[in-house]
Chain A
C-alpha cells in the first residue's frame, strides 16, 4: 500500500471522477461527499508520500514496471512531495467550501461540475508527480481543459474570458510541446533525469537554447507572468467563486513548480545562470509583475478584481525567487508556494462567502460588514496582514527570504521593490478594512440604522474552511523555521 502511494495520489481522484457522473445520475446530493472522500484519500496518500520521502529519500515509481527512460516514471523528491501535499490539501479545503456556492451559482449542473472539479485536481497532481516531460504535457492539458470549462460557467462575460484563456492556454501548451520536441530531437529522450544527464554536452547547441526558451515561455503563459498575463484577470474574476478559489492558488503554483523543475532539474542551474543567462532577466520581469499587479489592484473597486491583480503580483514574487537563483531566493520561492497558496485560497474563499451572503463585490458596499460577517472579516484582516507581510503571519517569512536572496545577489533595487510592494499591499488591504470596519461619521441620520444590522455569517461549510486556512496562515508562520529545516532546505536544488 505505502509503496503504491505516489501513484494513488493521482489515480484516486481520477477513478473517483470517472464514477462521479454515475453517482450524480442516481442522486445528485451524493456527489459532494463523494469528492470529499476522494480528496481526503488523496491528501492522506500525499502526506504518507511526504513522510516516506523525509524518512527514506527520493521515491522512483516505474509505471507498468518499465524502466526509465523507456517507460514513464514518477519521481517524488522533497520539492514534489511538498507541492503535492499543498495541492491536495488546498483542493480538499476548496471542495469542502464549494458546497453552498455551487448550489447557489450552478444548481442544475452540480454533477458535471464536480466531475470536472476532480479532473482539474487530477491534472494538477499529475503535473507535480511525474518525471517525464511528455506526461507532464498530457496532465497540463487535462488541468487546462478542465479549467476552461469551469471558468466558462461563471457569471456574465465568463465564456468570452474563458475563450481568451483557451487561445492563450493553447499557445502556451503548444510552445511547451514544441520545446519538448526540440529537446527530443537533440537528445532522443523524454525522461527528466535522463535529459539532465544528456543535456550538459549539448548546452552550446542552438536546438537546446530554443527548446529552453520555448519551454519557459510556455510555462510563463500558463503561469500568467506579467507581460503574458492578459488572460488571467477576466478569467479568474468571472469564474464561479469556488473555481477561482481552486484555480487562483493552484494553477500559478503548479506552473511555478514546473518552471523550477525545468530550470534547475532538467537543465543544470549553471545553464540558466551562465550559459544562457535568463535568470537576471526573469528577476526584472518579476519585479515589473510585482509592481504592475499592485498598482493595478489599487485602481480596482471590485474586491475580486483587486485580488486577481494581487495574484499577478504574487506570481511576480514566485518568479523573483527563481530569478535570483541563490539559496535564500529559492527557499523564499518554495516557502512562498506554500504560504501564497494558503493566503490566496483564503482570500478567494472569503470573497466568495461575501458574494454568497451580500451578492456584491464592490468595496464601497462593504459598510458594516464586520457586524454582518464578523468571523469572515476577522479572517480577512489576518490574511491581509499576511499578504502585507506582518511578522507573526506566514507571508512575512517568505518575503524575508526573498529580500535576503535579493541582498545576497546584491540586487538592491529588487529588495526595494519587495519593500515597496509591501507598502502598496498595506494600502490595498487597509482600504478594504476601512470600508468594512469604520463607521461612516458624517452620516448621522444613518447612524441608528447601522446598529440594527443582524449577524448573517457565512454558512458553516464555508466558514470552517475559511477559519482553518486562516489559522493555517498564522500557524505556518510560527512553524516556518521547522518547515524549512525539515523539507525546504532539501527541496532547493543541491548545488546552491
Chain B
C-alpha cells in the first residue's frame, strides 16, 4: 500500500494542481483569475509530462565525456528520458503564446468596458 502511494503520489499532486486551475478557469468570474487558472492548469500538465521522463538512477540527458570517447558504450538506463522534456519545451512556448493572446484580448476588453468582472462586461454588452 505504502509502495503504491509512494510510486503514484506525484501524479496525484499534479492532478490536484490541474484541477485547481481547471476550477479557476470555469468557476471564477474575474478574467485575470481565469487566466491564472489557465496557467496553473497548463503548468501542471507540463509537470506531469516531465515526471514521465524520470528514471531512478538516471542523470541529466547530456552525455558525459562526449568528445574524444567515441567508443564508449552508452546505457539507456543511465540517462533520463529526453523526449518528454522536448515535448514540454514546445508546450511551454504554446502556453506562453496562449497567455499572451489571452492577455491581449483582456486588455482590449478592459479598454472598452473599464472592468474585468465577467458579469459587468456581459451587462455592458447587452
Partners in one complex: yes
Residues of A participating in the B interface, judged by any CB pair closer than 8 Å: 134, 137-138, 141, 145, 148-149, 152, 156-157, 159-160, 162-163, 166-167, 170-171, 173-174, 177-178, 181, 184-185, 190
Can you list 19 A-B pairs with a CB-CB distance of less than 8 A?
A: A134-B87, A145-B97, A152-B108, A159-B112, A160-B122, A160-B125, A162-B105, A163-B105, A166-B38, A166-B105, A167-B26, A170-B25, A173-B94, A174-B42, A174-B45, A178-B48, A181-B45, A184-B52, A190-B87
* A177 close to B101 (CB less than 8 A): no
Q: Answer yes or no: B22 CB below 8 A from chain A CBs.
A: yes
Q: Besides A148-B101, A174-B45, 6 other CB < 8 A contacts?
A: A149-B101, A159-B112, A160-B121, A166-B102, A171-B22, A181-B49
Chain B residue with minimal CB distance to A152?
Answer: B105
Q: Encode B80-94 as 1/0 by CB contact (under 8 A) with A.
A: 000010010011001
Measured between beta carbons, the chain B residues less than 8 angstroms from A157 are 125
Bound complex: CA of A138 vs CA of B91, how far in Å? 8
Measured between beta carbons, the chain B residues less than 8 angstroms from A160 are 109, 121-122, 125
Given contacts A148-B101, A177-B45, A181-B45, contact A159 B108 (CB under 8 A): yes
Chain B residue with minimal CB distance to A165?
Answer: B105
* A171 close to B25 (CB less than 8 A): yes
Bound complex: CA of A167 vs CA of B102, how far in Å? 9
Chain B: residues with Cβ within 8 Å of the partner, total of 31
Bound complex: CA of A185 vs CA of B84, how far in Å? 10
Given contacts A148-B101, A149-B101, A184-B52, contact A170 B109 (CB under 8 A): no
Given contacts A148-B101, A157-B125, contact A163 B52 (CB under 8 A): no
* A156 close to B105 (CB less than 8 A): no
* B38 close to A181 (CB less than 8 A): no
Chain A residue with minimal CB distance to B102?
Answer: A166
Bound complex: CA of A159 vs CA of B41, how far in Å? 23
Measured between beta carbons, the chain B residues less than 8 angstroms from A166 are 38, 98, 101-102, 105
Chain A residue with minimal CB distance to B110?
Answer: A159
Given contacts A145-B97, A170-B38, A171-B25, contact A185 B105 (CB under 8 A): no
* B22 close to A163 (CB less than 8 A): no
Bound complex: CA of A81 vs CA of B102, how far in Å? 34
* B42 close to A145 (CB less than 8 A): no
Residues of B participating in the A interface, judged by any CB pair closer than 8 Å: 18, 22, 25-26, 31, 34, 38, 41-42, 45, 48-49, 52, 84, 87, 90-91, 94, 97-98, 101-102, 104-106, 108-109, 112, 121-122, 125
B114 to chain A, nearest CB (A): 13
Measured between beta carbons, the chain B residues less than 8 angstroms from A149 are 101, 104
Given contacts A160-B125, A181-B49, contact A167 B34 (CB under 8 A): yes
Chain B residue with minimal CB distance to A144?
Answer: B98
Measured between beta carbons, the chain B residues less than 8 angstroms from A163 are 31, 102, 105-106, 109
* B87 close to A141 (CB less than 8 A): no
* A178 close to B105 (CB less than 8 A): no
B17 to chain A, nearest CB (A): 12
Measured between beta carbons, the chain B residues less than 8 angstroms from A152 are 104-105, 108
Measured between beta carbons, the chain A residues less than 8 angstroms from B22 are 171
Bound complex: CA of A258 vs CA of B69, how far in Å? 46
* A141 close to B94 (CB less than 8 A): yes
Chain B residue with minimal CB distance to A180?
Answer: B87
* B98 close to A170 (CB less than 8 A): yes
Measured between beta carbons, the chain A residues less than 8 angstroms from B25 are 167, 170-171
